[in-house]
Amino acid sequence: MVQGKQIKNILNRPNILTLFRVASIPVIVVLMIFPNKFFTFLAVILFSAAAITDFLDGFYARRQGLVTTLGKIMDPIADKLLISSTFIMLASHGWVPAWMVCIIIGRELAVTGLRNIIAAKGGDVSASLLGKYKTGFQISAIIPLLIHYPYFGINFHVIGSFFLWCALALTIWSGADYFIKSRNLLQS
């Protein structure tokens, strides 16, 4: 009985949304292996649904008091996996510059490592407002970049490229900000 209750607590609505985000990643990757209008459209729909769960899982966890250790660990990992894998697939088709993807993923790995050090020292590892803007711009770039093809006379690739440059600037800025604010913990 106790084990069933523990599983129910772990598999609450926010964690199920996070797990959906993780499960959507291989499907998006497979869809992007076949870069035509139909499959990229499906990838956009799935990526958009997965991105929305990033907001919803945190909303439900805080509102309903369903914050769990699994959620705290998996939520940022799910975000990074979703965004990184999608950027890698975009770069594999030449739809975004690979060097930009390297900077974005490099920052994510560096900040994740920093967060692990900070957590081990008992510091606050929550996402900053800049980090949230960065994620928002990355998602705003990925959606039109995934569409890629012109529809209704709209060049979605140009729109996505604009947001990508904004996301890159915020990626660098938020990463630097995180390291600067954490320098005291790193020195001790």
Place of tokens 């990526």: 47
**Residue type at 95?**
W
Say how many domains are in the chain. Answer: 1
Q: Hey, CA dihedral for 8, 10, 11, 12, is it positive or negative?
A: positive
Closest C-alpha to 64, from 26, 113, 114, 14:
14
Res 70: pLDDT = 66
Three-state SS annotation for 93-147: CCCCCHHHHHHHHHHHHHHHHHHHHHHHCCCCCCCCHHHHHHHHHHHHHHHHHHH
CATH number, domain with residue 160? 1.20.120.1760
Res 8: pLDDT = 52
Query: Mind listing the pLDDT tens digit of every residue in the chain (188 residues)?
Result: 445 555 456 678 778 888 899 999 999 999 999 999 999 999 999 999 999 988 887 777 777 776 776 667 788 889 999 999 999 999 999 999 999 999 999 999 999 888 888 777 777 667 788 988 999 999 999 999 999 888 889 999 999 999 999 999 999 999 999 888 888 777 76
Residue-by-residue DSSP string for 24-41: HHHHHHHHHHS-SHHHHH
Residue span of the structural domain in which 114 resides: 2-187
